[in-house]
Amino acid sequence: MNFELRAVPKPKHKRFKRTAKERGRITSEVYEAALERSGGRCERCGKCDYLQCAHLIRRWKVEVETTVNDVAMLCGPSVNTGTCHNIIDYTQAGKEWAEEYRDRLYRRAKINE
C-alpha cells in the first residue's frame, strides 16, 4: 500500500463569515441614504437634534452587511438616557420599536423593488 502524506491545502478565502464588526459597519452610502430618508429628523420622535445612525438590530444579527433598512437616524447620543438611540439600545420597548420599524422598512423596500 502506498501512503502519501499530503498537506491540506490552505483555504482560498480567509474567513467564511465576516466578523460581526464587519457586518455591522455602516458605509457612507448607507449613512447618506438613511439621512435622506429621515429628512434630517429623528425617525422615532421627529426631533432634529444630534442625529446618529443607529442599528435597529444587534450587529451580530446582521446576516451579510448592514443595509439602509437595518439602521435609522435617531436622536442621541446613545449614552444619554431618554434619547431615542438610548431607548432602542437599552429598553425593551425601544428594542421592540426598532424591530417593528426595521420590518416596516424591509416591507417598504420590497414593494418598491
Q: Which residues bind Zn ion (CB under 5 A)?
A: 42, 44-45, 47, 75, 84
Q: 25 or 41, CB closer to Zn ion?
A: 41
Q: Minimal distance in Å, beta carbon 93 to Zn ion?
A: 13
Give the residue from 34, 31, 44 showing the smallest Cα distance to 76.
44
**Residue 44 or 55 with smaller CB distance to Zn ion:** 44
Question: CA 22, CA 103: separation in Å to the nearest integer?
Answer: 22
Four-residue CA torsion sign, 77, 38, 44, 89: negative
Closest CA to 26 of 87, 63, 68: 68
Q: Which is nearer to Zn ion, 24 or 76 (CB)?
A: 76
| Closest distance of CB 85 from Zn ion, Å | 8
Could you tell me the smallest distance in angstroms from the CB atom of residue 7 to Zn ion? 57
